[in-house]
Amino acid sequence: MPTPVGHALGGLAVYVGTQKDRKDWTLLGATLVAALLPDLDLAIGPFAGRSYHHYFTHSLGFTALFAAIVYWTMRRMGRTAPGQDAGVISTGYLSHIILDLLTKDTTPPFGVQLLWPFSDAFFISTVSVFSDVWRGGLTVLFGLHNWLAMGREILVLVPVVGLLWWLRRRRAQLE
């Protein structure tokens, strides 16, 4: 799994790539939070007595449920374009799953439970763009391996965000 920095950059890429000229800080914040949310399944493990990481919260089925909840929330908040907002925020959530699919996974079960609730199978890309993140005590979590993994995420994703920002500015100039 990528670090929170990598997932936040994925959410930022979604926001930058989907917006024209408007700066909507609420939408940006919600998209960044959504890009981090699937990893809340890490909090289930201590209560359940086993790890649930990369299970149902990393699935297309849960993403659809999340999108419906976000749409309902946006409508209740009186947002002018709740469907568009829900689409952006849910795509931020989906970016997390895509990045996890593209990450080297060294902890079983390998991959994500992509097709839950229709299948319990785990899926992972044959191409690993990102390094795995070691979990454990603080010395492991903040160790050199994880810093290098985060550096790789930054090297890959910051140019993507920059390109999307440039394309957005270019599109705005042509309109």
**Which is more confidently placed, 51 or 138?**
51
- Tell me the average pLDDT across 47-57: 75
Which single residue is written with the structure tokens 């799953």? 97
- Domain residue extents for the chain: 4-174
The three-class DSSP label of residue 103 is strand
pLDDT in the model for residue 137: 65
Whether the pLDDT of residue 140 is over 80: the answer is no
By CB atoms closer than 10 A (0-12, 13-18, 19+), residue 126 is exposed
pLDDT in the model for residue 124: 93
Band the pLDDT of 18: cuts 50, 70, 90: very high
Which pairs with CB-CB distance under 8 Å and at least 24 residues apart come from 6-9?
6/99, 6/130, 6/149, 6/150, 6/153, 6/154, 6/157, 7/35, 7/36, 7/39, 7/95, 7/96, 7/99, 8/32, 8/35, 8/36, 9/153, 9/154, 9/157, 9/158, 9/160, 9/161
Query: 3-class secondary structure for 110-133?
Result: CCECCCCCCCCCCECCCCCCECCC
| pLDDT, tens digit, 9 for 90 and up, residues 56-101 | 999 999 999 999 999 999 999 999 999 999 999 999 999 999 999 9
pLDDT in the model for residue 157: 98
- Do residues 164 and 16 make contact, with C-beta atoms less than 8 angstroms apart? yes
As beta bridge partners, residue 35 has none
- Do residues 41 and 52 make contact, with C-beta atoms less than 8 angstroms apart? yes
Band the pLDDT of 135: cuts 50, 70, 90: confident
CA-closest candidate to residue 113, choices 129, 100, 132: 100
Band the pLDDT of 138: cuts 50, 70, 90: low
The answer to pTM > 0.95 is: no
Whether the pLDDT of residue 134 is over 90: the answer is no
